[in-house]
Amino acid sequence: MFKILIPFLFIISFTSVGQAADMVVIHSNVTQEFPEGRLLDSSTPINLASSAKVTVVFANGGVKTVNGPYQGRLIEPFSIHKSDPKLIATLAELLLDDQSQKVRSTRQPPEDIWLIDVSTSKRYYCIEPSRNVILWRPKRQSQGASDLLIKHKRTSTEIKAKWPARKMTLYWPNLLPIFYGDTYTIEISDRNHSAFKKLILYQLPRSLPTNSHKVVWMVSRGCIPQANLLLASLR
């Protein structure tokens, strides 16, 4: 509770007393006036210089980008989706956490956010319902062939496979069923090194109305790096 509440109380101070924040800044090239993660209120006019560009997400999941010069209120796009203050509070917290992570991390993740990075200790990954489960390794680790062992912890079912040389991706083995929410272990070994990780997969519900809602759902399942990448793609 405190992990979500404390950042929310901090960023809510950007709005005046008596106003309710109903949008959050997710992209900005004027970070001093409109930092990413700042909560705004649609009843308060904003002023943008000619070179300014700001993207916000509204409490109903709608996304809007405004280019300067601009003066006036930001009105949410027409939407049939209900407003949810928790949505923008979660996005704001994610953005604030991501800013501190960027300082410490220089690692390049896969460009496709739905790929399962087996080279890290990250445990939780979310999968779009229309996508196959695909494993990924960095180019520097794909020069030689590797042995792959995946085990389903609950049933002890396991399968071995070869990961061919010079291939960065590999489809999840057809003979090993996917039970979303269950724990798997993955072992990869070659002549030079070996790696081990635990993996828990979650499949996004088809009912999520917008990509903003997907980001929030992914955060709740611990798929933080993927959520950050999806949030960064919103325009």
Measured CA to CA, the distance from residue 118 to residue 197 in angstroms comes to 7
Pairing mode of beta strands 157-163, 146-152: antiparallel
Q: Which residues contact 142 (CB under 8 A, 6 or more apart)?
A: 163, 165, 166, 167, 168
- For residue 81, the model assigns a pLDDT of 79
DSSP percent split of the chain into helix, strand, coil, nearest 5: 25, 30, 45
CA angle 224, 20, 221 (to 5 degrees): 15
Q: What is the pTM of this model?
A: 0.83
In this structure, what token pair is assigned to residue 217? 């759902």
Is 204:217 a contact under the CB 8 Å cutoff? yes
Per-residue model confidence (pLDDT) at position 16: 37
Tell me the H-state helices in the chain: 2-11, 85-104, 211-220, 224-233
pLDDT value of position 5: 36
> What's the pLDDT score for residue 207?
94
Cα 107 from Cα 113, distance rounded (Å): 14
Q: How far is CA 106 from the centre of its chain?
A: 17
pLDDT at 80: 73
Residue-level pLDDT, tens digit, the chain, 235 residues: 334 333 433 333 334 333 477 899 999 999 889 999 999 988 889 999 999 999 999 999 999 999 999 999 988 776 777 888 899 999 999 998 866 555 445 567 788 999 999 988 899 999 999 999 999 999 888 888 999 999 999 999 999 999 999 999 999 999 999 999 999 999 999 887 888 999 999 999 999 999 999 999 999 999 999 999 999 999 8
What pLDDT shows up at residue 2?
Answer: 32
Cα separation, 75 vs 11, in Å, equals 21
For Cα atoms 206, 212, 215, give the angle at the middle one, nearest 5 degrees. 75
Domains in the chain, CATH or no CATH each: 2-104 (no CATH), 116-203 (2.60.40)
